[in-house]
Every structure is written in structure tokens, then in C-alpha cells.
């Protein structure tokens, strides 16, 4: 090796040291954010609330020590005229570099969503390279968004994780909520013929009590975070909240139901038979032959009978067929009610417009300017439901039948 090449190597090597530590940051010098929220105060300024993870109070193990003694998260609230300004103002309160990459939850207050519309604040989140587009978005219902982050939770020590976990499981088992990510919201906001829906979350109990460590030391928490309805948007602004069955109907039409329950009345007994949907497929199609398009919703549901409170002969195929008919009616009614209310709200959260666009792009051009207010609300929506009872759990006939025979 010649003298020249050696010196070349040395120069290259020293360059790497000169630039050293560029953007380097140790993990323990970061303030790991688990959730952020945006509120508005009386002066019209944005209030950004940041939920920081206290690593030593979360992790177990030898060094954890303090875990359980002090809260797993610390919350700071900062104000600013813009979201970014609020973000920078946070540095006056926090000793570490704010790190967004692990934040999985973004909460917007009802106020911001109703008055300004979420599109006013979303850009700051989408533009930031650190914020994940897969972070979940929720709307704080009947409470300030910041307060939602301040309440401590048991089991999942980090409240953001508790919120995300709750959303995931209510979507899977109850079908009344929806996990919506940042990119989903932006996608539906920008797409023609579809409006966003976002899950709501609220605090049950006293907010001040929820901030205290005492709250999670009890077997029954005084203050808990709960899913609370589905926020319906129109042109980026929150206009309505759907609860329970209404919310279920929305999620059903969006084909996001994974598992849910349908109750039937029988022999004068309310909710005597409970049907558990375990598989379903919902297809929306548009017929654009006439001036006013017709939307057809095809539902095919499969499930089990999981609860019987009356004597019914489940061994009889005729009875099963009867039940299936009743189920179809019940589901049909649920979906029709949902569509009707949404048509009154004049916001196409189901994406019927997209369907029209897909089947007849030419016609859509004429309809799209006045879609929500005129056409959507007057659409003919036909709901077709096929329901199948596949199994009946570990039993066929309930002991009710045996008691009756005696």
C-alpha cells in the first residue's frame, strides 16, 4: 500500500469522526411520547397536551424499583398559536428531546372537531417526520382532550396503550368502534364521496381523581377511560355522535364487523335468543341507470346461537330457518335505521359516493358537487341480508326445553 492510499484512508476515516454524532440521541435522553392531544383554550390558542412515558415507572425488573410508586406517565400542557409553536413551547417545560416516533395515539377535542374541523390541525401531524401515520386518532367526547391523557389507568399502565387496546378489542368483539389511523382520516377527508368517522373516548368519573396514583391502587377505579360513540363528520367538522346500535350499523356497512351479537325476541320474552355473528361480508353496489342512483347493501352473515332463554327446538331445521328469517329482518332494520339517520345528517360516511363514482364516473362528475346535501340524502338504499345459523355452541336444545317437558 502506498503512502498516498494510506493517507487517503486516514482522511476518509477522520471525516466520519468529524461529522460524528450527527442527529445522534441516546434512548435515555429522549422524552418518549405515548400520546398527544389538541385542545383550544378561551383565547383561541391551541393547547397541546403531551403524555410522556416514565420508563423507570413502567418496566419491571431489577432496576424498576419505583414501579407502582409513581405514575407511569407524566403529562405536560403547552399553548401556542399554532400546533408547531405549542410543540416548541414544550421545550421550556421538558428537560429532554421530545420524541414522537413511539406515539400511537392522537386525541382531538370535540371543540376543535366541531368548530374548526380537524383538517385545521391534521397537516401539522402529517408533515412531521417523527409522527407515525399509523397512530390512532380518537375524539374526546364530553371532555377536554387533554384531560383524557391525564387520567391514569390500571393493567395497561400507559393510558395511550389502554386506549388503543380498548379500541382494538371493541372493534373486534363489539363492533361499535373503529380503529382509525392518522392516514385513514386524511385519506377519507381527501377522497370524494366519503366522509370520516372517528371513535370517541370519554372519562367516566372525576377528572381530578383520575390524575392521582390512588385511582389505580383501587380494585375498582373511580375514574376510567371508556369508548364512547362514533363521531360523524361532514366536510371535516363533527356533526353527530352515534351510539350503540347506530354505531354498529355504520361499522357493519363499512364491512368492518368481525364479531358482534344480535338479539331476538321470542315468546314475548325480550332478547330471548342471542345470535353471535362470527363471519360476515357486506358489499355495497350502486345502480346508476336512473337519475337518482340506487344503492344496494348486501349482507351475508354467519354465526352461532350462543344464548337461549326460552324453550326452542334448535334440532328442527324449520325453526332454524325461521330464526334466520327473523335475524335477517333484525339486521336489515338496524342498517336501514342507520342509513336513514345518516341521510338526515347529510354526510356520506359509508362511501356510497365512491361506489357511484366507481360504477359510473361520468355521472359522478355531475353529482359530486351536490352529493352530500342533495343526492346522498335522497338515495334509494336497499338492504339485503342473508343470515345463517351454523352452530349452537356446546348444546343444541336449552335446558329450558327439558324443564318444560317435565
Partner 1 sequence: MFSFLKWKKKKKNSDNQQEKSPIQSTDKLSNNIETSLTLNLEVIKQRTGNSTDFVIRPVNLGQHPKVKTTIVYIKGLVDNQTVNDFLIEAMITNPTLQEQITQQEVVDMIVKDVVAVGGIKKLSDWDELFTELMSGNTIIFIEGISVALSVSTQGGERRSIQESTTNVSIRGSKEAFTESIGTNIAMVRRIINTPDLWIESMKIGKMTKTDVSIMYINGIARNEIIEEVRKRLKKIDIDGVLESGFIEQLIEDQTNTTFPTIHHTDRPDGVAGNLLEGRIAIFVNGTPFVLIVPALFIDFFQSPEDYYERFDISSAIRLLRTIIFFISLIGPAVYIAATTFQQEMIPTKLAIIIANQRESVPFPAFIEALIMEITFEILREAGIRMPKAIGSTISIVGALVIGQAAIQAGIVSPVMVIVVSMTAIASFATPSYAVAISARLVRFIFMFSAATFGFYGMILVFIILVVHLSSLRSFGVPYMTPLAPFIREEAEDTIVRRPLWGYKKRPKMISGRNKVKQGENQKPNPPQPRTMTNSANEKGD
CA 308 to chain centre: 32
Nearer to partner 1, 158 or 203 (CB): 158
How many other C-beta atoms lie within 10 A of the C-beta of residue 77?
A: 19
- How many angstroms separate the CA atoms of 399 and 406, rounded? 11
Our CA dihedral for 241, 247, 249, 252, rounded to 10 degrees, sits at: 130
In the numeric block, the cell 435522553 is attached to 29
CA distances (Å), origin 232, targets 50, 324, 377: 26, 31, 15
Nearer to partner 1, 104 or 221 (CB): 104
Positions touching partner 1 (CB under 8 A) are 1, 3, 6, 16-17, 19-28, 30, 32, 34, 53, 55-56, 58-59, 61-64, 99, 101-102, 104, 130, 132
Least distance between partner 1 and beta carbon 95 (Å): 13
Nearer to partner 1, 44 or 129 (CB): 129
Least distance between partner 1 and beta carbon 164 (Å): 10
Supply 8's cell numbers: 487517503
Least distance between partner 1 and beta carbon 319 (Å): 50
- How many angstroms separate the CA atoms of 82 and 117, rounded? 15
Least distance between partner 1 and beta carbon 370 (Å): 44
CB 156 within 8 A of CB 165: yes
Nearer to partner 1, 132 or 341 (CB): 132
Supply 357's cell numbers: 363514482
CB 376 within 8 A of CB 343: yes
Least distance between partner 1 and beta carbon 23 (Å): 7
Least distance between partner 1 and beta carbon 180 (Å): 19
Nearer to partner 1, 134 or 374 (CB): 134
Nearer to partner 1, 51 or 372 (CB): 51
Amino acid at each position: 500500500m502506498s503512502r498516498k492510499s494510506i493517507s487517503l484512508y486516514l482522511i476518509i476515516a477522520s471525516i466520519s469522526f468529524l461529522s460524528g454524532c450527527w442527529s445522534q440521541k441516546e434512548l435515555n435522553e429522549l422524552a418518549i411520547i405515548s400520546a398527544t392531544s389538541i385542545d383550544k383554550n378561551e383565547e383561541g390558542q391551541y393547547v397541546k397536551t403531551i403524555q410522556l412515558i416514565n420508563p423507570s415507572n413502567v418496566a419491571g425488573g431489577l432496576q424498576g424499583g419505583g414501579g407502582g410508586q409513581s405514575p407511569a406517565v407524566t403529562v405536560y400542557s403547552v399553548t401556542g398559536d399554532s400546533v408547531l409553536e405549542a410543540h416548541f413551547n414544550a421545550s421550556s417545560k421538558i428537560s429532554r428531546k421530545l420524541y414522537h416516533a413511539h406515539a400511537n395515539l392522537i386525541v382531538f377535542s370535540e371543540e376543535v372537531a366541531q368548530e374548526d374541523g380537524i383538517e385545521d390541525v391534521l397537516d401539522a401531524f402529517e408533515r412531521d417526520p417523527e409522527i407515525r401515520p399509523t397512530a390512532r386518532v380518537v375524539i374526546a367526547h364530553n371532555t377536554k382532550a387533554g384531560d383524557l391523557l391525564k387520567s391514569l389507568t390500571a393493567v395497561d399502565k400507559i393510558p395511550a396503550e389502554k386506549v388503543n387496546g380498548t379500541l382494538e378489542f371493541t372493534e373486534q368483539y363489539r363492533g361499535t368502534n373503529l380503529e382509525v389511523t392518522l392516514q385513514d382520516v386524511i385519506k377519507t377527508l381527501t377522497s370524494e364521496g366519503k366522509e370520516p368517522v372517528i371513535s370517541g373516548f370519554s372519562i367516566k368519573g372525576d377528572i381530578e381523581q383520575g390524575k392521582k396514583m390512588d385511582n389505580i391502587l383501587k380494585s375498582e377505579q373511580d375514574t376510567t377511560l371508556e369508548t364512547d360513540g362514533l363521531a360523524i363528520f361532514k366536510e371535516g367538522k363533527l356533526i353527530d355522535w352515534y351510539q350503540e346500535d347506530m354505531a354498529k350499523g355504520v361499522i357493519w356497512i363499512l364491512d368492518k364487523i368481525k364479531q358482534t351479537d344480535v338479539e331476538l325476541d321470542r315468546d314475548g320474552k325480550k332478547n330471548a335468543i342471542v345470535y353471535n355473528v362470527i363471519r360476515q361480508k357486506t358489499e355495497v353496489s350502486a345502480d346508476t341507470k336512473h337519475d337518482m342512483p340506487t344503492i344496494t347493501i348486501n349482507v351475508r352473515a354467519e354465526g352461532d346461537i350462543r344464548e337461549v332463554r326460552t324453550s326452542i327446538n334448535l334440532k328442527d331445521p324449520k325453526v332454524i330457518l325461521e330464526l334466520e328469517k327473523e335475524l335477517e329482518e333484525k339486521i336489515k332494520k338496524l342498517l336501514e335505521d342507520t342509513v336513514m339517520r345518516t341521510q338526515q345528517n347529510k354526510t356520506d360516511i359509508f362511501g356510497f359516493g365512491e361506489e357511484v363514482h366507481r360504477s359510473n364516473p361520468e355521472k359522478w362528475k355531475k353529482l359530486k358537487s351536490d352529493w352530500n346535501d342533495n343526492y346522498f340524502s335522497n338515495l334509494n338504499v336497499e338492504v339485503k341480508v342473508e343470515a345463517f345459523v351454523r352452530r349452537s355452541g356446546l348444546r343444541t336444545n336449552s335446558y329450558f326445553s327439558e324443564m318444560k317437558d317435565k
